[in-house]
Structure 1
Amino acid sequence: MKVPKLMATQHPDSTVVLMPQDEVEEAIQDVLPLDQGGRGCDEKMVDYEGKATPYNQMRDIIEEVRKYDVVPGEDFLITPRVPNPKLEDKDRHLLAITAAVTANMYSQMYFNTDAIKYIILPMSTSTLELAEVQRRILKVERLVSEEFSLRIEEWIKLIPLFETAESHMHIDEIVEGLRIAFIKEIGMFENEFRIFMGKSDSGIHSGHIASSIGVRMGLLKLWNWQKDTMFKVYPIIGMGKPPLRGHMAEWVIEDWVEAWRGYYTATVQSALRFNTDRKDYVHTITVVTKNSGKQPPLELLGYAKEMVNVAWRASEVYLSRLERLADMISFMAKFVTRTRARLDSYKRRAKTGKEMPRAIRFCASLYSMGLGPTLIGAGVIEELASGTAEKLEHLLKFVPLLPKDFAFDYAFTDLEVFKRYVDEKTFEIIKKDVDVVKEYFANVEPPKSPPEGYFEKLRELRGALDEAEVSRAKAIVMELAEMRGFLG
């Protein structure tokens, strides 16, 4: 199997506003090679999850790319992320699958290839659910084949996207269950799997420490699961530039590829493509590509049980803070400009039960309040250090990027500004988290420091909110994002 290494996505995490009519040209630039002035990705995610993406967008990309010297299905893949029918309208789920299958008719017509070989299902939970979706894809392919002469040489395969720390930490059991469910439910024997793990939603729901442990353990367990079998797994990791969302950023990329060794495919999200200097961007994706498919240090699984306990305790502490911050985060999210056409009807709830903004607006809201998101609940570090002597040491071996994650967010934190957004009790709790990071990681240089004027802008934003100047507040939030190099 030729596995793509760089998946360009449509995440709304950049400061560049792109509407659906812009996304076909964007996709072309994403998949053109670097030496042709493109962005050098070999897979393009067309996103229908909670997003107003036209169903003909995949076909439009296939038709437009005929003007260029690249072949879909050979030089790059188009891989849609379809709505999960448990979370969105079932017709949107079915229409997105149908659009993917029929797009292959045009790919075969123009290029004699299948541009779409995979479909991603977000928020995957049960193996039975995944088998049902795979069966649905096969049924649509058979229908289009019978009615419109689509050639089927290989079935489109499902990529499950898991987005919780719990699923990541049990990923080997889930994949084994998925393999068996495919055989029992649809008679489909698979010996190669692409498994997608997302950091963002896991970060919101469980906090940075627990979600980092989850993804790291997921990579280790997937490699360990396939070690003595005939099966092969090709992990995909979905990460953005902010530390809470994975810290896949140009200023820390050499550390990043080592911290998350074991991936085959990494997402190249909008902020990395549009809020990064060309030279830094090229260096970043070159490093990511070079380190694809390297075996992670499986000996770290010796810490697995201990890390599970650390994750649950860290998540518990984080959620106690999130409960206090949730309403203010939701308020601030109203001032974060949408940079893609998303559906207002699609929302998710946090473990606290409260409705929360999606990950990008969540992060943008906290940075705009003067608080780096990874610092929420970081006070648990002191608890780990005062417990078993090796517990913190083992955590830092397991998640080696953690000190630089904290250092980045500490550098972009202004407690004097943050104090103006929350009650006194909440402030004291969060200040303790920040103080613990300062104490334990004082010698860690931030991988990126705020540019001149950043903190003045934070204070200006608070003033605009006090004066109820909505347009000015939105503009300042975007200016702050440009200074950081990402929206959220």
Structure 2
Amino acid sequence: MIPKTMSTQHPDNAKMPSWASGRSIISNEDEIEEAYIAYKYLGIQEVMWDAEGKDVDTHVIRKLFSKDREFFDKNVLGRDIFLTYRVPNPLIEGAERKILNETLSSIPLNYDVARRVYERDIAPVFEVILPFTTDYRSMLNVVKFYEKGIVDSENIKLYDDVRVQDITGKVMPEKINLIPLIEDRDSIFNIESIIGKYSEIIKPHYMRVFIARSDPAMNYGMIPATLLSKYAVSGMYRISEKTGMELYPIIGAGSSPFRGNLGPDNIKRALSEYDSYYTFSVQSAFRYDYSEVSVKEAVSMINAHKPVIPNLFDRDQEIIIKHIIDLYSSRFQKIIEGISKPINDITTYLPKRRTRKLHTGLFGYSRSTGSARLPRAIAFVGALYSLGIPPEILGASVLAGLPEEYHALLDQNYKNMYFDLRSSSRYFNYESLKYLTDIWGIDSDIIKMIREDIRYIESNVGVSTDSSYSVEKHNIFSTLLLLAFKNKKFDEVGRYAYEMALLRKFVG
């Protein structure tokens, strides 16, 4: 069974769950309880156990069994429900690369635990997610390291005729499946080659391929990120047709429109938007910022979702998509680089929801003054909303200069574009532009670009007519936050940022 829903540990929730041991932070130990609740009470079929950027608990399977033996007897880990590691990419993480060894080494340990519980051979963990996958070699690095560095170590001779296997027992499973997490434009454009070359060498029976939705939005803008997700699934379908290998796409979307608009109150639109994807991430804001009833209903809808054949782009359409992405990302990146200082300053005051190590992203472009260093995607989105400048609108005026055939392709492949732009633009606060100049001295050309983007939406898309109490209150809070920051009332800055996150039902 290939799971349809994947619980993740993204720290995008505004509300805290009642079972968390801390008032504001979900600790590493809390995440055992979190996984159990996702399985038993929410009906989520898979939990992503994250070893990237945190101290991973490699005894997770034993701890889950000890919580509710009866439940896990009826719902077999590795057959009915699943736990999947996300491991650090050793080519990217540097100092964290040896966590890969620690994490992969725990897979046989968890196998032994499950064998004692179930009294049969079953691997509770047999797949790993590799972030920042950019070529097939990085995928080979992980699966071959497991086979040769972990499994084959059982044959190492210690002395006389004594081998490692005689001391620690046989290492199982003998192989693992790798799920590439593809996060950047060039790799998505090259997806057929990356997956094709890997499948030629490894010859897996099937593959799951994870497409990021947040980082592409942060790097290129909301509209390019959505187009990239469609390009990726089109390429995957072609690989499947060519090789006969089944491919199961995963979309890593969050609750904010910028990160995919995948939340309980938008679930029907999200399933329609990403209708060719098989598995959907169910992130923290999805689970904790809505009622349990609405969460369970939304999870049930995803579990019942049947993927459809994607739009298959011909060569001319691919050229158009790449052109739109290039034009849009150029404008988006210029604006973001211009306001990187307020983004980073406000990030400090957003509510922190997970125990994580510092992880700063290097923005993927530079100018003569140097590259813009930015926070991770959730904090990036949260900071911009707190500033009264929803990131969804940035770059939108590029659409004004596109030919009619470009707009037709956009409308066909980003079904909810106008809805996403309208629903996010209601949080735009014109007062913010004055404060950007007064507090941070933002260049007038950047301010002009932001004005052009929101005015394009007002004139051509339309801003949501929602004048609800929560939206108006959010916009007042964004002004108060900027006023507090200007007057160095930093405790108030944090309080207003938190209140705004509660109103929109996500941090970022």
* TM-score (norm. length: structure 1): 0.91
- Equivalent residue for 1:356? 374
Please say if 1:83 is aligned against 2:103. no
Residue from 370, 383, 386 that aligns with 2:388: 370
Residue from 218, 224, 238 that aligns with 2:232: 218
- Equivalent residue for 1:155? 175
Please say if 1:287 is aligned against 2:301. yes
Give the CA deviation at 1:458.
1.5
Which amino acid in 1 is paired with 2:52?
E
- Equivalent residue for 1:473? 493
Q: Secondary structure at the match of 1:225?
A: helix
- Equivalent residue for 1:35? none
Q: Secondary structure at the match of 1:20?
A: coil
Which amino acid in 2 is paired with 1:52?
D
- Equivalent residue for 1:25? 33
CA contact (8 A) 1:404 1:446 kept: no
Which amino acid in 1 is paired with 2:414?
V
Q: Secondary structure at the match of 1:155?
A: coil
Give the CA deviation at 1:418.
4.1
- Equivalent residue for 1:93? 100
CA contact (8 A) 2:52 2:86 kept: yes
Give the CA deviation at 1:231.
1.1
- Equivalent residue for 2:408? 393
410-419 vs 78-87, which deviates more? Answer: 410-419
Q: 1:18-72 CA deviation, whole Å, 9 max, x = no partner? A: 111211111100011xxxxx01111001111112333333442344342524321
Give the CA deviation at 1:445.
6.5
146-155 vs 246-255, which deviates more? Answer: 146-155
Residue correspondence of structure 1 range 268-347 to structure 2 within 5 A = 268-298=282-312, 303-344=317-358, 346-347=359-360
Q: 1:55-96 CA deviation, whole Å, 9 max, x = no partner? A: 333442344342524321122111010111122222122112
Larger Rg: 2
CA contact (8 A) 2:111 2:123 kept: yes
CA contact (8 A) 1:12 1:270 kept: yes
CA contact (8 A) 1:191 1:231 kept: yes
- For residues 449 and 158 of structure 1, what CA distance do their matches in structure 2 show? 47
Q: Secondary structure at the match of 1:86?
A: helix
Which amino acid in 1 is paired with 2:487?
E
- Equivalent residue for 2:76? 71
What stretches of structure 2 of length at least 5 have no aligned partner?
Answer: 17-24, 155-163, 366-370
Please say if 1:129 is aligned against 2:134. no
- Equivalent residue for 2:151? 141
- For residues 446 and 51 of structure 1, what CA distance do their matches in structure 2 show? 40
Q: 1:354-402 CA deviation, whole Å, 9 max, x = no partner? A: 2210000000000000011111111111121xxx222112112111121
Please say if 1:114 is aligned against 2:123. yes
Which amino acid in 1 is paired with 2:89?
N
CA contact (8 A) 2:61 2:113 kept: no
240-249 vs 84-93, which deviates more? Answer: 84-93
Q: Structure 1 residues 340, 67: closer, same or farther in 2, change over 3 A?
A: farther
- Equivalent residue for 1:203? 217
CA contact (8 A) 2:220 2:329 kept: yes
Please say if 1:417 is aligned against 2:432. yes
- For residues 474 and 323 of structure 1, what CA distance do their matches in structure 2 show? 24
Give the CA deviation at 1:259.
1.3
Which amino acid in 2 is paired with 1:349?
L
CA contact (8 A) 2:427 2:471 kept: no
Q: 1:383-429 CA deviation, whole Å, 9 max, x = no partner? A: 21xxx222112112111121111112101111213431243432221
- For residues 449 and 243 of structure 1, what CA distance do their matches in structure 2 show? 20
Please say if 1:257 is aligned against 2:271. yes
Give the CA deviation at 1:226.
1.1
Q: Secondary structure at the match of 1:483?
A: helix
* TM-score (norm. length: structure 2): 0.88
Q: Secondary structure at the match of 1:453?
A: helix
- For residues 428 and 347 of structure 2, what CA distance do their matches in structure 1 show? 18
Give the CA deviation at 1:128.
1.1
240-249 vs 111-120, which deviates more? Answer: 111-120
Identity of aligned residues (%): 23
Q: 1:251-310 CA deviation, whole Å, 9 max, x = no partner? A: 322121111111111100000000012232123222222224332233688622211111
- Equivalent residue for 1:51? 54
CA contact (8 A) 1:336 1:474 kept: yes
Q: 1:413-451 CA deviation, whole Å, 9 max, x = no partner? A: 112134312434322210111111111112767799944
Which amino acid in 2 is paired with 1:378?
A
- Equivalent residue for 1:436? 456
CA contact (8 A) 2:134 2:194 kept: no
Which amino acid in 2 is paired with 1:404?
F
- For residues 333 and 353 of structure 2, what CA distance do their matches in structure 1 show? 28
- For residues 415 and 379 of structure 2, what CA distance do their matches in structure 1 show? 26
- Equivalent residue for 1:403? 418
138-147 vs 428-437, which deviates more? Answer: 138-147
Q: 1:191-246 CA deviation, whole Å, 9 max, x = no partner? A: 31111111111111111121111111111221122124321111111000111111
- For residues 467 and 208 of structure 2, what CA distance do their matches in structure 1 show? 32
Number of matched residues?
Answer: 472
Q: Structure 1 residues 299, 354: closer, same or farther in 2, change over 3 A?
A: closer
Which amino acid in 2 is paired with 1:279?
V
Give the CA deviation at 1:150.
4.6
Q: Secondary structure at the match of 1:248?
A: coil
CA contact (8 A) 1:124 1:162 kept: yes
CA contact (8 A) 2:126 2:173 kept: no
- Equivalent residue for 2:160? none
Q: Structure 1 residues 302, 224: closer, same or farther in 2, change over 3 A?
A: farther
- Equivalent residue for 2:5? 6
- For residues 269 and 165 of structure 1, what CA distance do their matches in structure 2 show? 23
Q: Secondary structure at the match of 1:295?
A: coil
Q: Structure 1 residues 101, 326: closer, same or farther in 2, change over 3 A?
A: farther
Q: Structure 1 residues 143, 276: closer, same or farther in 2, change over 3 A?
A: farther
Which amino acid in 2 is paired with 1:169?
F
